[in-house]
């Protein structure tokens, strides 16, 4: 079949005009929508101020040039940026600066991580595990919190152990006579590995090592161990190297560390919960998880990253989809222009659910951060006041927080990595260009699925808590609290009563109820299987991960709906309700349709209607809003840093300019031209064989004479 397409070659494409038309038809105030996304007007204005400062800062601002940097250039520039950022931290509160570097994660993740290891993990470890005097000394008196005198790293992971923190093998043996700990790497498997900042930057490490006192192993505790002296030379007994090329984040100097009988004073052990006296008496914490609170802050940050990164890539892909015309829709008229990508139903199905998911990420991240901050502050206050009731309450809150953060960290990072690649593919061949921003984003973000808790391990851990808690509710009548409070209704919803019908799909609260029921029924079935399999938790590992994912979506959807119900800007509600419907329908119900059907939470009729009618209709309804909804993220061109995603929508001219600026046209030969010329101008095969395989040679050599 021949398709006749007439192209006016004198008229260049004008994607800029298309995005302006979309923007001019906005039906809501994007500034007020940003208040919703950031949590408040005050936070929104703060974010705007931070972005403006950083995009005007010649050291901090990102540019397309970074896509062509070598590893050495990435590291050098990252170090310069840390020096520049230290000027900001001297002028801001710690909370303000934490929110600033949260934005940096979008446009310079390696900078965010390299300084975040110091401020978030090292100092977070001091706060979580050190006494108040130790925290005051190491973080404040030494001015470590202001990136002065000390630069810290977080030495938890080892070559042979990562997720299994309890299995770490570095030792800290107490020498009572000298009142010292001896830190030692007993074998190659105990080498500290992947330690951000270790290779070149860190002067000190928060080392996770096995506490050995009087021959008894008390498990993994935390110690401050100096690595380099005041002239930045390695101290005796410290061996450090660079772990080499990585998939992404080349600006981080990840390294390995080995300790050879390194001695530190007893009081270099962080003793907020675990204490060792000069006599060798050991006092252990009420809950070992308290020692890992530094990881909690990292997981909270990664959920916020999921929102920031997804908002960036969906903005790029959406702006490109509005400006890019390709082919003609089946319903187009002969005189119509080629159709916009965003007007194809398939393209809408690929992108608009990601947009809805990103809106759900925003409030979930805000709620998790607020809950985490409140819980840690209350626990610190209780410890300071020696308030045992407060400590007990804090421990219970921490347990709930570990469950919530584990499910959200794993689920949101998985989804974000998927979002990045889907948005890249939605931009076709141009999405493969480094200057589009997707390639570096994917490589830089991928690590979030495995660091600070491997996602599958976290998922199984969270799922295990769900099954244990539903067992307590059903068998022992114990009441749960926190994120799992809804399990208290388990007895009334176990069964096969259908919860959701096609008529309920427009009510996200009804979908939320269906998610609760699905979690309860699936958890109960996992419990039944577990009992039948002699408590073989590994056998139900895949089920546990699915439970964790559903719990994360329960948290995200509930946070989203609660926020929508509370906002004063009621004019935003219609479009937010459509987003909530689409998120609950496409990401949750369609994404987990097997579970919802297996446990008869929804009918097959509902799932069929969902995919065939409900989701396509929602995408069509939201189609006119895609540019205002992405504009509402209020990401500047510096933060977007993409040839395809600039605010003006001028995708072709912007892309061409970036390519020319970074790769100026030239007429000189390539450095490897001689090799290529030799390839093309090589002698014939006969000449290279010295004519030894020629007919003449054959005749002579085969002669009987």
Query: Domain boundaries in the chain?
Result: 15-24+292-663, 152-291
452 is catalytic: yes
The CA distance from 650 to 499, in Å, is 48
Report pLDDT for 491.
Answer: 85
Tens-place pLDDT, residues 423-438:
999 999 999 999 999 9
Q: CA nearest 117: which of 301, 244, 288?
A: 301
Whether 326 contacts 339, CB under 8 Å:
yes
Over residues 531-543, mean pLDDT: 93
Give the number of other Cβ atoms within 10 Å of residue 594's Cβ.
10
> Sorting pLDDT into bands at 50, 70 and 90, what band is 459?
very high
The CA distance from 357 to 353, in Å, is 6
Identical fold, 15-24+292-663 and 152-291: no
Which run of H or of E encompasses 180? strand 180-184
Judged by DSSP in three states, 615 sits in: helix
Binding residues for FAD: 157, 196
How do strand 204-213 and strand 171-175 relate by DSSP bridges? parallel
Please determine, for residue 244, whether its predicted confidence score (pLDDT) is greater than 70.
Answer: yes
How do strand 180-184 and strand 192-195 relate by DSSP bridges? unpaired
**Long-range contacts for 448-451 (Cβ within 8 Å, ≥24 apart)?**
448/302, 448/305, 448/413, 448/416, 448/417, 449/410, 449/413, 449/414, 449/417, 451/194
165 Cβ contact partners less than 8 Å away, ≥ 6 residues apart: 156, 208, 220, 292
Its sign, for the CA torsion 685, 686, 691, 692, is positive
539 Cβ contact partners less than 8 Å away, ≥ 6 residues apart: 529, 530, 533
Please determine, for residue 663, whether its predicted confidence score (pLDDT) is greater than 80.
Answer: yes
Q: Assign domain 15-24+292-663 to a CATH class.
A: mainly alpha
> Sorting pLDDT into bands at 50, 70 and 90, what band is 258?
very high
Over residues 576-599, mean pLDDT: 93
**Residue 187 CB-density burial (10 A; 0-12 exposed, 13-18 middle, 19+ buried):** exposed
| Percent of the residues in the chain that have a pLDDT greater than 70, as a whole number | 97
> Sorting pLDDT into bands at 50, 70 and 90, what band is 384?
confident
Report pLDDT for 290.
Answer: 63
**pTM > 0.85:** yes
Least confident of 31-45, 235-249, 480-494: 480-494
Please determine, for residue 563, whether its predicted confidence score (pLDDT) is greater than 90.
Answer: yes
Tens-place pLDDT, residues 489-530:
888 888 888 888 898 999 999 999 999 999 999 999 999 999
Please determine, for residue 23, whether its predicted confidence score (pLDDT) is greater than 50.
Answer: yes
Give the number of other Cβ atoms within 10 Å of residue 108's Cβ.
25
Give the number of other Cβ atoms within 10 Å of residue 545's Cβ.
23
Greater confidence, 289 or 148?
148
Report pLDDT for 7.
Answer: 52
The CA distance from 113 to 102, in Å, is 10
Give the number of other Cβ atoms within 10 Å of residue 134's Cβ.
19
SS3 percent helix, strand, coil of the chain, rounded to 5, is: 60, 10, 30
Per the structure block, which two tokens stand in for 516? 């609760």
Please determine, for residue 64, whether its predicted confidence score (pLDDT) is greater than 80.
Answer: yes
Please determine, for residue 270, whether its predicted confidence score (pLDDT) is greater than 50.
Answer: yes
Which run of H or of E encompasses 204? strand 204-213
Per the structure block, which two tokens stand in for 169? 């093998």
Tens-place pLDDT, residues 68-79:
999 999 999 999
Report pLDDT for 601.
Answer: 93
Q: Which fold has domain 152-291?
A: Butyryl-CoA Dehydrogenase, subunit A; domain 2 (2.40.110)
Per the structure block, which two tokens stand in for 108? 């310079």
Tens-place pLDDT, residues 159-183:
999 888 889 999 999 999 999 999 9
- Angle in degrees, CA 141, 145, 150, rounded to 5: 75
| Percent of the residues in the chain that have a pLDDT greater than 90, as a whole number | 70
Least confident of 12-21, 283-292, 655-664: 283-292
Please determine, for residue 551, whether its predicted confidence score (pLDDT) is greater than 90.
Answer: yes
Give the chain's mean pLDDT: 91
- Greatest alpha-carbon pair distance for the chain in Å reads 111
Over residues 35-59, mean pLDDT: 94
Report pLDDT for 2.
Answer: 44
> Sorting pLDDT into bands at 50, 70 and 90, what band is 705?
low
Greater confidence, 692 or 43?
43
Report pLDDT for 51.
Answer: 95
As beta bridge partners, residue 264 has: 181
> Sorting pLDDT into bands at 50, 70 and 90, what band is 693?
confident
Report pLDDT for 10.
Answer: 56
The CA distance from 36 to 115, in Å, is 29
Least confident of 237-246, 489-498, 569-578, 607-616: 489-498
Which run of H or of E encompasses 681? none
CB crowding 392-410: b at 16 or more within 10 Å, else e: eebbebbbbbbbbbbbbbb
Greater confidence, 589 or 703?
589
Over residues 200-211, mean pLDDT: 97
CA distances in angstroms from 187 to 170, 184, 234, 413, listed in the order given: 9, 9, 20, 33
> Sorting pLDDT into bands at 50, 70 and 90, what band is 296?
confident
Greater confidence, 412 or 330?
412
Per the structure block, which two tokens stand in for 513? 């109820």
Per the structure block, which two tokens stand in for 314? 């969906």
As beta bridge partners, residue 155 has: 207
- The single residue of 378, 452, 571, 699 carrying the catalytic annotation is 452
Binding residues: 157, 196
Least confident of 132-141, 482-491, 544-553: 482-491
> Sorting pLDDT into bands at 50, 70 and 90, what band is 281?
very high
Please determine, for residue 5, whether its predicted confidence score (pLDDT) is greater than 80.
Answer: no
């Amino acid at each position: 079949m021949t398709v006749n397409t007439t192209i006016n070659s004198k008229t260049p494409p004008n994607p800029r005009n298309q995005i302006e038309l979309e923007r001019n038809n906005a039906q809501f105030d994007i500034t007020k929508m940003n208040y919703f996304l950031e949590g408040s007007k005050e936070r929104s204005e703060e974010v705007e101020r931070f972005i403006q400062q950083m995009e005007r800062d010649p050291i901090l601002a990102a540019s397309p040039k970074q896509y062509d940097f070598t590893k050495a250039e990435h590291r050098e520039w990252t170090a310069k940026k840390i020096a520049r950022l230290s000027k900001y931290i001297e002028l801001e509160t710690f909370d303000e600066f934490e929110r600033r570097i949260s934005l940096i994660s979008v446009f310079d993740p390696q900078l965010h991580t390299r300084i975040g290891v110091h401020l978030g993990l090292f100092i977070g470890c001091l706060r979580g595990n050190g006494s108040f005097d130790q925290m005051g000394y190491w973080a404040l008196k030494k001015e470590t919190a202001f990136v002065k005198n000390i630069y810290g790293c977080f030495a938890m992971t080892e070559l042979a152990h990562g997720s299994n923190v309890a299995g770490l093998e570095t030792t800290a043996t107490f020498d009572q006579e000298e009142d010292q700990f001896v830190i030692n790497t007993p074998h190659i498997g105990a080498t500290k590995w992947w330690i951000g900042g270790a290779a070149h930057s860190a002067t000190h490490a928060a080392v996770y090592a096995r506490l050995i006192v009087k021959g008894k192993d008390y498990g993994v505790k935390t110690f401050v161990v100096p690595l380099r002296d005041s002239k930045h030379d390695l101290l005796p007994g410290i061996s450090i190297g660079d772990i080499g090329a990585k998939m992404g984040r080349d600006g981080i100097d990840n390294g390995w560390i080995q300790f050879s009988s390194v001695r530190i004073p007893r009081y270099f052990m962080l003793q907020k919960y675990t204490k060792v006296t000069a006599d060798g008496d050991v006092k252990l914490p009420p809950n070992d998880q308290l020692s890992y609170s530094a990881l909690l802050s990292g997981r909270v940050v990664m959920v916020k990253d999921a929102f920031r990164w997804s908002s960036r890539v969906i903005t790029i892909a959406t702006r490109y989809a509005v400006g890019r015309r390709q082919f003609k829709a089946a319903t187009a008229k002969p005189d119509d222009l080629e159709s916009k990508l965003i007007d194809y139903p398939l393209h809408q199905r690929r992108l608009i659910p990601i947009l809805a998911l990103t809106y759900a990420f925003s409030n979930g991240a805000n709620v998790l951060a607020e809950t985490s901050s409140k819980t840690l502050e209350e626990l610190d206050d209780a410890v300071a006041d020696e308030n045992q009731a407060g400590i007990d309450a804090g421990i219970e809150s921490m347990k709930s927080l570990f469950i919530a953060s584990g499910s959200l960290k794993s689920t949101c990072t998985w989804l974000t990595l998927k979002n990045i690649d889907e948005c890249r593919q939605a931009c076709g061949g141009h999405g493969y260009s480094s200057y589009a921003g997707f390639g570096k984003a994917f490589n830089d973000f991928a690590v979030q699925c495995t660091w600070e808790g491997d996602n599958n391990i976290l998922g199984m851990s969270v799922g295990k808590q769900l099954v244990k808690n539903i067992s307590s509710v059903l068998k022992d009548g114990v009441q749960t609290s926190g994120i799992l409070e809804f399990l208290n209704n388990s007895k009334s919803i176990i069964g096969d009563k259908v919860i959701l019908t096609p008529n309920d799909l427009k009510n996200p609260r009804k979908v939320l109820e269906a998610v609760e029921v699905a979690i309860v029924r699936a958890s109960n079935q996992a419990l039944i299987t577990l009992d039948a399999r002699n408590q073989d938790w590994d056998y139900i590992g895949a089920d546990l991960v699915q439970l964790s994912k559903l719990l994360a979506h329960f948290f995200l959807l509930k946070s989203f709906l609660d926020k929508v119900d509370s906002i004063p800007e009621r004019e935003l509600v219609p479009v937010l309700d459509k987003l909530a419907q689409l998120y609950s329908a496409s990401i949750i119900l369609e994404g987990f349709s097997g579970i919802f059907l297996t446990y008869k939470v929804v009918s097959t009729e509902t799932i069929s209607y969902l995919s065939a009618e409900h989701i396509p209709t929602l995408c069509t309804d939201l189609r006119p809003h895609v540019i205002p909804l992405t504009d509402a993220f209020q990401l500047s061109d510096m933060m977007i840093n993409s040839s395809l995603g600039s605010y003006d929508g001028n995708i072709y001219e912007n892309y061409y300019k970036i390519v020319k600026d970074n790769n100026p046209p030239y007429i000189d030969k390539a450095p490897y031209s001689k090799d290529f010329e030799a390839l093309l101008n090589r002698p014939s095969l006969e000449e290279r064989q010295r004519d030894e395989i020629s007919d003449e040679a054959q005749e002579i050599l085969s002669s009987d004479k």
